[in-house]
Each structure stands twice: as C-alpha cells, then as structure tokens.
Amino acid sequence: MDVAAQDGAVRQDRPHPADPCTFVIFGAAGDLTKRLLVPALYNLAAERLLPERFAVVGVARAEMSDEQFREAMRAALRQFATGKVVADVASRLLECFFYVRGDFNDGETYRRVRDRLTEVERRFAIGGNCLFYLATPPDVFAATAKQLGKAGLTREEHAWRRLIVEKPFGTDLDSARALNAELLSIFSEHQIYRIDHYLGKETVQNIMVLRFANGLFEPLWHRDHIDHVQITVAETVTVESRGKFYDRTGTLRDMVPNHLFQLLSLTAMEPPICFEANAVRTEKSKAIEAIHRPSPQEMLSQVVRGQYAAGCVQGNRVGAYRDAEGVDRNSMTETFVAMRLTIDNWRWAGVPFYLRTGKALAARRTDIAVKFKQAPYAMFRDTPVERLAQNLLVLRIQPDEGASLQFNAKVPGPSIRTDGVRMDFQYKDYFAAAPSTGYETLIYDCMMGDRTLFRRADEIESGWRVVQPILDAGRGRKEGLAWYEAGSQGPREAAELLARSGREWRTIA
C-alpha cells in the first residue's frame, strides 16, 4: 500500500523509503501514541519515507474495532499534527492501521498479536520485518518483552525483529542493570533500540556536525581554551496531571541520566573514527564513563535539588508542587536539579560542566553554552573588566533553534572602546524544515537499522553510575531541598554553585 504523498519535488540527495515492515505499538491508546507516534508516522508518509508495504498494529486494553482505532488516530492527527494534514495522505496511512485488544501481562494477547501479524504480513506482502514499540508504563517493559519471546515473536530467521524501549530506562543503577539483563535474555543487543527523543531533534544532531565538520571550533574545544560549559533544559510547564507518577520519579531520574547526559556526551565526546553507529556510541559512552564520581557526601556540595512553590509563570498563576493532584502534601520530590560535574580525561581536566533542569521556570529553553576563557586584559587596561563581553558559543536546541557566537568589537569613535556583539544563526532562516515531532528521524532510523541515535546498554548504565551517588546522598534526608518560586530562575542555591568560582548562570529568558 502506498502511503506516500503524491506531489512534491524529490531531491536527489533525499533518503529512500524505509524497509517494508509492520509497526506494532504496545500502548496504542495512550498519549504518546496520539501526540507523537501517529503524527510522526504521518510526517514520514508525507515525506514519502514510509515503505509501500507497511502496516501498523496497535495493542491496548481498550475495546475497539479496527475502524474505531483508525477514527481515534484520525482525531489524534487533527488535534496533534505539527503541520497541515493532507486528507489523502492521512487516509492512505490509516487504511493500514489494525487493532488488537488485550492485557500486556496475558499470554493470550500475544497469540492474538501473532495471528494478526500473520494476516497483515500476507495481505501487504511485508515479508516478516517487525518493529515493536513499547509506548507503555516502564513497569511492563520487561514483562512485554518476555511475552514477545514466549510467543516466538522475537526470532530473526528470514526477517528482522526490533524493539524500541522508551525512557525512563530504570529508576536507579540496579534497576537499569536488571532491565538490561532481562531484555538481553530475550533480544540481542542489535535488536534493542533504547530511545531518547532529544536525539531526534535536528539541533542536537547538529552538535556533532558543528564540532567535527568545522576546523574553526574543534581546535579550541578543550581545557586550554574553554572556561566552563552550561547545559540548561528549562520548562515552564508544571507537573500538571502527572503528579502521581512524578512524585515517585522526580526531575533527577526523569531528566538527568537521559536528556542532559545526551547533550553532555555530544558536547564532550572525542571525535569518532567515522559516523557509524558503534563508533559514535562508543565515544559518547566514554565521555559519560569519564565523569568524575565523588562520594555521596561530596555530592551534597555539588548538587542542588529544588521544588517549586506557588508563583506566576508567564503571567499565569501557578500553585505549589505539593498542591498538585496526586502529590504527597509533604513531598520531598525535586522538580529542579542543578549540578557541577567534571570529566576526568585529557581534553576536559579542570573544566566544570554545569547542568540544570526544572519545571515551572521563567521560560522554556534548552541550550548549551560554551564559555571560552577571557582574553588577557593588559591591552585594555583602560577598559573596565565588565565592559569586555564574554566569549560565548550558544547552541540553542529549542524553541529558537540555532547557534550564536558572542565576541568583542570596537565601538565606532576616536577612542578604543569595546562592546559585545553577536553573530546569530537560525535554522528557520536557512532551511525549510518539514513539520516534526522529534520522533520521525528515530522511527525511520530504526526501520533502516541505523542505531547511531539510540543508546547502548553500557551508556545507560554509565549514566546511572553518575546519578546513583546523588540518589544515595538524598535517600532518607528531610533537609537539603531548596525552594523556588514558580516562574523564577530556580533556587538561590543553584546560583551559588557557580558564584563560588566567580561564575554565573545565563539568564533563563
């Protein structure tokens, strides 16, 4: 079945359609499927990147027919699609959607899935390739994989079988190790795609291109020239209706081992020998493994955990975290984390990496700021130090995708006066980007068997080894939680992390 758009010019260098396959979504009635996966599949169809022989099988507990499932997904497209929905493209895509009702812990569900796969593969001549997407709560990841194995759906004989696992991958080091072990007892490592949707963002992938494709930056990308690095993932949203889940998880587990460490590893990694999946993932894993891991007590002075109180976010009144539905009224769960990390290798010895992330902050912003060392002042002894602007390279991930470079220039006039100026690059000014949820690249790569943007087991565990001492240090403690007003820059204690060495955070604005 052809789900591709009928019009639109085809560039000579564009990717070719993915391999024929059936896309099985466990958790097909959930928000992830409606908000992100189905719109992403539509965008791939509109870009002519889905295979002609393609089908989707949704699995969930709700009672639905195939037609009801298609109509529910059509409504999701109308509500959540990132661009204009072309009716013909949507209809051709939804024609190949099918549904299986069942409980994820019930072996009978997987027998029905197997029967439906056989039917669909014959109907569309797919050939047996199958991609299983776990859009489910994390506590059923292992059980679902185990049932797939029992039903004989994981064997690769004349076709490939692949598994996409969402985050969070574990809740601490032990649980991450256990989940890796369980999955690897059923699937081979090459079959497992541990997804982090941040790696689907063009601006995240551009970090490698900016570093390694430009002779301008890489020679300066080390301790001799860089003073420090700031990585910020700031959100304006509160926990909203996710209070019960969030109170068990917190920002540290939810954001640091995945999103923030992905940005850190791409910033700090050594050049890979090539842009092949294992070469890239090996260097990323080495960067995370090289993060210095102090004792739990030392961690207390290098990590700030905060929780938002009532305030005003972008003109809207926001209640305190503890007042959210599903949250314990005495909760000590953090909604903000800031930390100072160092990397024990030749390139980064002595260069601090400052990471911060939180909810209910002043603005939505994700960026990486590389602060270069200050020029000697001798030539400008008559210029106040504060008039010499910082040399900053800022990589903006969202929402204003691009990059900027700040440097000093002479102010016009007879005297030598300097001021900071900025060169700015915005993606929207140079490239006509197609509508995107951030999942299109990742789904396409998985269909093509490209694992570059997916995390390996060792990378997952390396991240948790850094976070585990922080969890240990905070376990059972009733003190040490900092407070911040919703709509602010975060807790005062976070600013002190940098102030101790005469540095300061860039303003979240």
Q: What is the DSSP letter of 270?
A: P
- Report whether pLDDT(3) > 60: no
pLDDT at 380: 56
Mean pLDDT (the chain, rounded): 89
Provide the pLDDT for residue 384: 54
pLDDT given for residue 11 in this prediction: 33
pLDDT digits (tens, 9 = 90+) for 255-310: 999 999 999 999 999 999 988 889 999 999 999 999 998 777 777 789 999 999 99
Q: What is the pLDDT of residues 56-69, one digit of tens each?
A: 999 999 999 999 99
Q: What is the pLDDT of residues 367-392, one digit of tens each?
A: 999 999 987 765 555 555 555 678 89
First vs last Cα of the chain: how many Å apart?
47
Element (H, E) at 323: none
Q: What is the pLDDT of residue 8?
A: 35
Closest CA to 97 of 59, 133, 63: 59
What per-residue confidence (pLDDT) applies to 382?
58
For residue 236, the model assigns a pLDDT of: 96
Q: What is the pLDDT of residues 67-93, one digit of tens each?
A: 999 999 999 999 999 888 999 999 999
* Predicted pLDDT at 44: 95
Residue range 186-210, pLDDT digits in tens = 999 999 999 988 888 888 888 999 9
DSSP class of 37: I
The Cα-based distances of 228 to 61, 294, 336, 368, 400 in angstroms read 49, 19, 21, 11, 23
Kindly report the pTM of this predicted structure.
0.89
Residue 131 tokens, joined: 């991609």
Q: Is the pLDDT of residue 413 over 80?
A: no
Q: 179-197 burial string, b = 16+ CB within 10 Å, else e? A: bbeebeebbeeebbbbbbb
pLDDT surpasses 60 at 476: no
Give the per-residue pLDDT at 128.
93
> Is the predicted pLDDT of residue 51 greater than 60, yes or no?
yes
Question: Looking at the predicted structure, is the pLDDT value of residue 250 above 60?
Answer: yes
pLDDT at 12 over 50: no
* Residue that wins the pLDDT comparison between 198 and 506: 506
- Note the Cα 218 to chain centre separation in Å: 24
Q: Which residues contact 336 (CB under 8 A, 6 or more apart)?
A: 251, 304, 305, 306, 307, 308, 356, 357, 358, 359, 361, 482, 484, 490, 491, 494
pLDDT at site 14: 59
* 6 or 32, greater pLDDT: 32
Residues with a catalytic annotation lie at: 259
pLDDT at 6 > cutoff 50: no
Return the closest-CA partner of residue 453 out of 271, 273, 208, 289.
208
Contacts with 61 (C-beta within 8 Å, 6 or more apart), sequence order: 29, 101, 102, 103, 104
Report CA Rg, the chain.
Answer: 24
Residues 160-164 have a mean pLDDT of 97
User: Measured between alpha carbons, how far is 402 from 395 in angstroms, rounded to an integer?
Assistant: 6
Contacts with 346 (C-beta within 8 Å, 6 or more apart), sequence order? 222
